[in-house]
Amino acid sequence: MQNRSRDHARAGRATAPETTCPRPPKLQHGERVEAAYARTALLRQADAERSGRDGAIGGFRGRRRQYKLAGTTGPAADAEAPAGSAMKEAALPGPSRRDLGRMAVAAGAGLAAGPWLRAFAIARAEAKVVIVGGGAGGATVAHALKAGAPDLDVTLIEANPIYSSCFLSNLYLGGIRPLESLNHSYAGLHRLNVWVVHDFAIDVDPIRRIVRTRGGRTYNYDRLVLSPGIDIKYDSIPGYSREAARVMPHAYTTEAASKRLLKRQLQQMRDGGIVAMAMPREPYRCPPAPYERACMIAHYLKARKPRSKLILLDPKRAFAKQDLFIEAFAKYYKGIVELNLSDEMDDFGIASLNPGTKEIITHAGRKVRADVANIIPQQRAGEIAAKAGCTEGDWCPVHPQSFLSRKMSDIHVLGDAAIADDMPKSAFSAHSQAKAVVADILAALTKVERVEARFRNVCWSLLAPDDAVKMAADYAPHAGRLEASTAFVSQTGEPADVRRQNAQDNAAWYTAITSDMFAKAANGGQLLGGSGGDRGEPPKADPPQPDPSKPDPFQSNH
Ligand SMILES: Cc1cc2nc3c(=O)[nH]c(=O)nc-3n(C[C@H](O)[C@H](O)[C@H](O)COP(=O)(O)OP(=O)(O)OC[C@H]3O[C@@H](n4cnc5c(N)ncnc54)[C@H](O)[C@@H]3O)c2cc1C
């Protein structure tokens, strides 16, 4: 609750009452009120049209609304709606579609409306979108919704006041970027009047359309967007646990402490030490990331502790951009990296590990006594997705056009938590999916024409300073799933200038995507931590940059 008050004070807004849902900012000007009335009517009409044609999920919602409008009972109508919720107010006798059209015109012209219209209009003017998770997917949705419909009531529930990106965090381990350069605040989204709430969402009631938080607050929604990223499945590796992760870090979530711990352990390790990495099984967040990490750790070892070894224990037989990484291991890190891929004879998945001794034993019987162990276990959708009833197994099935859940109405799931078929779990993907989610929400809540969703992903991987490779593809819904259409992968043996350009493009992309995610233009261009090594004009408030003239860049970044 304190956080909430502080958030609002920071954003220069009135403090919301502590025990109720946040209220949207008061509509001050006559024109805005009229516009809200008009939008209200159109929104309702669009929703009705949508529910008539959008398969099981839209159909359910449409039927529920019908119960309400007809004043009859039904499963949703029986549920007690919280005071002031859109559901409760939707129980008013409803106008016909033709009436709605007239209402929209009348409201737009500023004419007086009947009392039932006013009540209805107010309910819809307060149409609420709640987003859980302010990372690559969720923050982008918040920004794009406000860009498309500034008056929409958008609440972003995010556990942490600072987002510490996983993407490019391998470069921190390699001594190429400071950790602070991966940090981003929510000030830009605050400025756009997104209600940013730093709290942890613990439950969703999809019938009453309410999100509950650990802080004891509840938030009603008309549309809920879940982009909670991943949770680590600690029990997927025998002997691993939350406690073990304090000794053998995964460094695979937005938690900055885990990345810092891994880096500190590398710094404190003797020259000649053994670093072990346990690679994950598919599906997991960012398929090439563990191998980029191997390059970055090897780069550090080569520069600082050249007698050391990096042993990769992989339960898979193959991995993303394999030829490119194997070429890099041979070219840059010969004698340092030892890759153990599984095959029909040997399984290098972890059979057991001991956090006390840092001993790891694989199914193939390989024993490694590590000085530093980076364990990357299996993963699943962030817990809130399961609480909302959106998971099937570990992940969330979605409609490929809109990323609406296939299991629950009015809930979108995007980013790593979603099953996006051919599309990999990446920040680029989440950002691309966010635009489709926003298009769907705006089409449902306004008269905006629905556009065909098109998706793209580009994944760069840094093999060594100034040597990056990439993999890119476009995706489109086809026969109920997202399929890759055009694709590009870097080739082995490419000239150095191509690779250098890739590295620069990667850094430029990072600046661009994080600026868009966190609405940095609305934040006066202030970057929290900024963007190390990017092309072009550095932002004014840029943070400490890696200094190549420093004798020990590794020791300076922690
Ligand atoms: C080492 C590494 C390197 C990577 N490199 C790249 C790369 O180069 N390019 C790329 O495109 N991708 C990369 N990725 C992948 C990328 O980080 C993820 O795919 C992306 O962040 C997914 O976005 P998301 O919105 O699903 O989740 P996240 O960005 O993880 O955001 C989830 C947010 O939800 C919050 N949250 C979760 N549950 C709750 C809750 N119940 N209540 C409130 N808040 C909650 C979390 O605090 C978090 O801020 C990399 C990943 C790793 C681990």
Query: Is the CB of 166 inside a 6 Å radius of any atom of ligand 1?
Result: yes
The answer to whether residues 70 and 148 belong to one domain is: no
Cα of 382 from ligand 1 centre, angstroms: 10
Mean pLDDT of the chain: 78
Angle formed at CA 94 by CA 47 and CA 224, multiple of 5 degrees: 35
According to the model, what pLDDT value does residue 381 have? 98
- CATH number of the domain at 349, please: 3.50.50.60
% of the chain at pLDDT higher than 70? 71
For residue 238, pLDDT over 50 is answered with yes
Cα of 135 from ligand 1 centre, angstroms: 6
pLDDT-derived band at 76 (thresholds 50, 70, 90) equals very low
The answer to whether residues 120 and 84 belong to one domain is: yes
Mean pLDDT throughout 291-310?
98
According to the model, what pLDDT value does residue 525 have? 52
Cα of 30 from ligand 1 centre, angstroms: 41
Residue 401 lies in a domain: yes
Q: How far apart, in whole angstroms, are the C-alpha atoms of residue 514 and residue 530?
A: 9
Residue 20 lies in a domain: no
The answer to whether residues 403 and 541 belong to one domain is: yes
Residues 6 or more apart in contact with residue 72 via CB below 8 angstroms: none
CB 461 within 8 A of CB 295: yes
Q: How far apart, in whole angstroms, are the C-alpha atoms of residue 33 and residue 118?
A: 11
pLDDT-derived band at 440 (thresholds 50, 70, 90) equals very high
DSSP 8-class letter at 454:
-
Residue nearest to atom 37 of ligand 1 (CA): 228
Residue 199 lies in a domain: yes
Q: Which of 176, 186, 284, 285 to mutate to test the pocket of ligand 1 (most atoms within 8 A of CB)?
A: 285
Q: Pick 401 or 445 by higher pLDDT.
A: 401
The answer to whether residues 253 and 221 belong to one domain is: no
- How deeply is 548 buried, as exposed, middle or buried, from its count of CB atoms within 10 A (0-12, 13-18, 19+)? exposed
The answer to whether residues 509 and 460 belong to one domain is: yes
Q: How far apart, in whole angstroms, are the C-alpha atoms of residue 66 and residue 81?
A: 16
Range of the domain at 506: 131-231+380-556
Residue nearest to atom 3 of ligand 1 (CA): 167
Cα of 435 from ligand 1 centre, angstroms: 17
Residue nearest to atom 8 of ligand 1 (CA): 167
The answer to whether residues 385 and 472 belong to one domain is: yes
Q: How far apart, in whole angstroms, are the C-alpha atoms of residue 382 and residue 417?
A: 6
Residue 78 lies in a domain: yes
The answer to whether residues 171 and 107 belong to one domain is: no
For residue 79, pLDDT over 50 is answered with no
Query: Is the CB of 415 inside a 6 Å radius of any atom of ligand 1?
Result: yes
According to the model, what pLDDT value does residue 420 have? 98
According to the model, what pLDDT value does residue 450 have? 79
N- to C-terminal Cα separation, the chain: 32
Among left, alpha and beta (phi > 0; psi -120 to 50; other), residue 481 is: beta
According to the model, what pLDDT value does residue 524 have? 63
Cα of 518 from ligand 1 centre, angstroms: 14
Least confident of 55-64, 207-216, 505-514, 544-553: 55-64
The answer to whether residues 404 and 552 belong to one domain is: yes
Q: Pick 56 or 135 by higher pLDDT.
A: 135
Give the pLDDT confidence of 156-197 residue by residue, as tens digits. 999 999 999 999 999 999 999 999 999 999 999 999 999 999
Cα of 253 from ligand 1 centre, angstroms: 7
Identity of the residue numbered 84 = G
Burial code (b: 16+ CB inside 10 Å, e: under 16) for 243-264 equals ebbeebbbbbbbbbebbbbbbe
Number of domains making up the chain: 3
Residue nearest to atom 11 of ligand 1 (CA): 427
According to the model, what pLDDT value does residue 112 have? 25
The answer to whether residues 265 and 203 belong to one domain is: no
According to the model, what pLDDT value does residue 442 have? 93
Identity of the residue numbered 119 = A
Least confident of 82-91, 211-220, 548-557: 82-91
Task: Look at residues 125, 141, 157 and tell me which one is the last residue of a structural domain.
Answer: 125
According to the model, what pLDDT value does residue 489 have? 97
Q: Would strands 481-489 and 467-478 be described as parallel, antiparallel, or unpaired?
A: antiparallel
Among 514, 233, 174, CA closest to 376 = 233
Q: How far apart, in whole angstroms, are the C-alpha atoms of residue 323 and residue 318?
A: 10
Cα of 311 from ligand 1 centre, angstroms: 26
Crossing angle of helices 97-108 and 30-53, rounded to 10°: 160
Mean pLDDT throughout 45-67?
29
Residue 452 lies in a domain: yes
Q: Pick 135 or 82 by higher pLDDT.
A: 135
Q: Pick 111 or 215 by higher pLDDT.
A: 215
Mean pLDDT throughout 61-79?
24
Q: Pick 318 or 539 by higher pLDDT.
A: 318
According to the model, what pLDDT value does residue 126 have? 67
According to the model, what pLDDT value does residue 445 have? 83
The answer to whether residues 404 and 501 belong to one domain is: yes
Task: Look at residues 377, 393, 425 and tell me which one is the last residue of a structural domain.
Answer: 377
Residue nearest to atom 4 of ligand 1 (CA): 167
Least confident of 29-33, 206-210, 253-257: 29-33
% of the chain at pLDDT higher than 90? 68
Task: Look at residues 109, 125, 141 and tell me which one is the last residue of a structural domain.
Answer: 125
Query: Is the CB of 426 inside a 6 Å radius of any atom of ligand 1?
Result: yes
The answer to whether residues 218 and 247 belong to one domain is: no
Q: Which of 177, 286, 510 to mutate to test the pocket of ligand 1 (most atoms within 8 A of CB)?
A: 286
For residue 115, pLDDT over 70 is answered with no
According to the model, what pLDDT value does residue 82 have? 27
Residue 331 lies in a domain: yes
Residue 9 lies in a domain: no
Identity of the residue numbered 75 = P
Q: Which residue has the tokens 């559901």?
A: 87
Residue 4 lies in a domain: no
The answer to whether residues 241 and 201 belong to one domain is: no
